Amino acid sequence: MRYFSQIVIIGAAAIALAHSTSWPGARTVDMDEGSFAETVQKWNGTILWEPASASGNVVSRFGDEARAVFGPIPDGDCSDGAAKTIPLQIDGNSVDLKPNPGKPNHPLEFEHRYIDGKIVKWTSGVAQCDKPSLTGSATYCGLNSRLNRVENGNVEWLFLCRKSSPSLEVEPIPYWQRSNPKFALFGVIGFNRRSGEIVFFDGRKDQSEFDWSQKFVPPGGHSYTDSEGRAEAEALYDPTFQVECSGCHDNKSAYVINPNIQQARVGYFGGKQDSLASSFSLGNFLPAPPRGRSTPFRVVGSGYTATHRVNLERAMTVRDPTGNCTECHTLTTQTTGQRFSADAVARDPVISEPDRAQFLRLQAERRKLFEIDAHRTEWASRSGVGKIHPWMVPIDGNELSALPPEISASDWSVLSNCLWGAGGTECSYAPLYTSCPAPEAAMQGDNSKPEDLSIAVVRSPEAEVIADRVVRLNWRYLNSYGNIPQRDDVRFNVAVKSTEIPTSGAAPSPLDYPGLEEATDKNFIAIDGETGTSGSATLIRNVSYFGHSKFTDPVPSKAMRAFRLDLPAQCNRRYLVRIMPKRFCFDQSSITYAQADHLLYADVSCD
C-alpha cells in the first residue's frame, strides 16, 4: 500500500510543530490512496475550488476573473447624474445638434454657441472640429457621447458610451442628439490605482446599437449565482476581444488624456484658466494620478490576454533620449507613443532605417494621422486663432500660452525611432507590463502571509470507519493585495507526506517534508476532485477559507480569514505537511506560487 506523501501549504518562515496523541483502545485502519482522497473530498470538498471556474463561457469566466481581482463590478450606467456628456468644439465654440427654430419645420442643424451663450451660427453639417478623435476607429468629430466614472476604494470603473458611425462622419439626424440614448460603442475599464491592475471589456461588435437608458449588467453578472445577469451579459459583451484596448490605454493609468476627451488641463490655449476650458470642458472629471515607468501595471483577463499576448509581451516603455519630454507621461512603443505622441507634437512618425514590415506600418500610421489632421480646424492649428495644436510642447507640456518652441525635427527623429522600437540603449527600453505577483512577494507589493499555522490530532467522527484519527490544519490569511476586501484570486495547496514515526522521536529535517515543486500543480494527478498525487506526495489543491463554499462570492473582510483542512490519519504514522499559497493570475502566466516554507508535522500515536 502506498502512503500519502505530502500536504503542501505555502506560507512564510518554516514552522515545525510536533504533536503526539494517543488514546487507549484505538482501532487501526488500513487506508489506500483512493480512500484517502475520497475522505478528504467528503470532509472538505465545499471549500476546495478554483476561482472563476464556474463557467466555460468566455464572457462569464472573464467577469468572474475580474470580480475575483477587483471586487464587485458596478452596472454600466451612462445616464445617471454623474455621467458626463463629451462636448464638441468648432472654432472655439460649443456645438450641439438641435432643431433650428429659424427655419420652416425646424430641421435638425448644428448650433454653434460662444462661451457667453450667444448663438454664432447654424450649419447643416460638421466637416472639421478643434479636437478630433485619435482612436482612428470612432467618428472623428462625434458629439454627445457619454462617460461615467465610479470609484470603489482603490478601484475606479470607467464606462464609455460612444456615439459613432460606420463612415466616421456626423450627420444631422436624431441619433446624434444629446437626448437620444442610442450609441454604437460600449467600453468598460476597471483599474486598481494601488496594484496597477487593469481590465478591459467591450460590447459585442456584431451589435450596431446600444441604449444607455438601461443599465448594463457586468460580465459574469453580479455573482456566480446571478443566472439571469450572466445570461444577459453573455449576449452583451464581445467574446472575441476584438478591440485591443491596451494598445491605447497603456500609460499605467485608467485613461490617456488628450484634447478629444475635453479635459481642462490639455488642449486649451490658456490652460485650466482658459475661459473656454471653464465653459466647455469636463474640468477635472478624470484626475491625474502620478504613475511612473517603474509603477506596476498588469492586464487582467485570461481571454483578453491570450488574444493579445504577443503585443502585451512586446510592449515597452521609452525614456526620451533628447530630454524634451519630462516624466509626466509614460511613453510606450504602442499607440500612445506611435500615434498620440506624433499628433501631440504635430510631426509625422519616422524610422531612420525601417525594414519592410516597419515601413508598411509606418505608412499606414501616417495615413491615419493625415485623416485625423484633415478633420482638425484651421482655428486649432498653430497658425490659426486657437493655437492649440500641437498640444504638447517641449519641457512645458500642455502650457500653450507662452508659445514655446516646438520639438525640432532632429530631436523628433531620435524620439520617434525609439517609439517605434527601432532604437537602441539610448531609449532605455523596459517592459511596459509587469509580472503577476506571487503571494508573499513583498518586492512586488504583496505583503500578505499566512499566520498562526497549527496542526492537531483529533478523534475521527464516530461514524467514520476510514480513519483512526483526524489531522487538523489551521491557519489565518488575508489576501490584501490591492486592498480589495472581496479579493479572491489566492488559494492554498497542501502537500502531505506520511512516514513511520522514528523510534527516537526526533523532529524531521527540512528534507523530510514535501518539496516546493511537489506542492505546485505541475505534476498533479487527480484521484478524487482536488485531491491527488504530486511526485511522492499527496496533494490537496485550491483550499479556500473555511466556509467559502464553491461558487460563492467572498464576504468583504479586512480581518484575517480562518482556514481549516481536515485529513484522515492512521495510527503510528507521522504526517509532514507543506502549505503553499498560490495566485491565479488570469493572464498568460496562469498561476504563481509563493516560495516561503510553511512546514508542519504531527505524530499520530494510538498506543
Q: Is residue 236 domain-resident?
A: no
Closest CA to 233 of 219, 252, 249: 219
Closest CA to 263 of 391, 351, 372: 391
Q: Is residue 293 domain-resident?
A: no
- For residues 261 and 263, give the distance between their C-alpha atoms in angstroms, rounded to a whole number: 6
Q: Can you give the pLDDT at residue 30?
A: 52
- For residues 548 and 525, give the distance between their C-alpha atoms in angstroms, rounded to a whole number: 25
Q: Is residue 471 domain-resident?
A: yes
Grid cell locating 331: 511613453
- Residues 396, 364 within the same domain: yes
- Residues 158, 265 within the same domain: yes
- For residues 376 and 389, give the distance between their C-alpha atoms in angstroms, rounded to a whole number: 9
Per-block mean pLDDT, blocks of 10 residues, the chain (607 long): 36 42 43 90 96 97 98 95 94 97 97 96 97 94 97 96 96 97 97 95 94 96 98 98 92 88 88 88 84 84 96 94 79 92 94 94 96 96 91 81 84 96 95 95 94 95 78 97 97 97 95 97 97 97 97 96 97 96 94 97 90
At residue 537, what are phi and psi to the nearest 5 degrees? -110, 165
- For residues 159 and 56, give the distance between their C-alpha atoms in angstroms, rounded to a whole number: 26
- Residues 412, 450 within the same domain: no
SS3 category, 161: strand
- Residues 99, 152 within the same domain: yes
The last residue of one of the domains, among 397, 431, 465, is 431
- Residues 178, 50 within the same domain: no
Q: Can you give the pLDDT at residue 80?
A: 84
Question: For the segment 570-579, what is each residue's pLDDT rounded down to a tens digit?
Answer: 999 999 999 9
- Residues 383, 401 within the same domain: yes
Q: Is residue 51 domain-resident?
A: yes
- Residues 154, 258 within the same domain: yes
Q: Is residue 225 domain-resident?
A: no
- Residues 464, 323 within the same domain: no
- For residues 412 and 344, give the distance between their C-alpha atoms in angstroms, rounded to a whole number: 12
- Residues 467, 569 within the same domain: yes
Query: Which secondary-structure segment (H or E) carries 63?
Result: helix 58-70
Q: Is residue 240 domain-resident?
A: no
- Residues 375, 495 within the same domain: no
Domain that residue 487 falls in: 20-69+439-604
Strand partners, 574: 603
Domains identified in the chain, total number: 3
| Residue with grid cell 500612445, as numbered in its chain | 336
Closest CA to 389 of 415, 409, 369: 369
Task: Check if the beta carbon of residue 29 is closer than 8 Å to that of residue 563.
Answer: no
Task: Check if the beta carbon of residue 265 is closer than 8 Å to that of residue 284.
Answer: yes
The last residue of one of the domains, among 411, 431, 451, is 431
pTM (predicted TM-score) = 0.92
Q: Is residue 294 domain-resident?
A: no
**Domain at 585, CATH number:** 2.60.40.10
Question: For the segment 450-506, what is each residue's pLDDT rounded down to a tens digit?
Answer: 999 999 999 887 666 678 899 999 999 999 999 999 999 999 999 999 999 999 999
Task: Check if the beta carbon of residue 169 is closer than 8 Å to that of residue 194.
Answer: no
SS3 category, 453: strand
- Residues 88, 62 within the same domain: no
DSSP secondary structure string for all residues of 245-307: GGGTS-SSSS----GGGT-TTSS-TTGGG-HHHHHHS-TTSS------TTS--EE--HHHHHH
User: Which one-letter DSSP state was computed for residue 490?
Assistant: E
Cis preceding-peptide flag for 390 (omega within 30 of 0): yes
Cis preceding-peptide flag for 132 (omega within 30 of 0): no
Query: Which secondary-structure segment (H or E) carries 359?
Result: helix 356-374
The last residue of one of the domains, among 266, 287, 308, is 287
Q: Can you give the pLDDT at residue 280?
A: 92
- Residues 206, 100 within the same domain: yes
Task: Check if the beta carbon of residue 86 is closer than 8 Å to that of residue 124.
Answer: no
Q: Is residue 234 domain-resident?
A: no
| Residue with grid cell 484596448, as numbered in its chain | 245
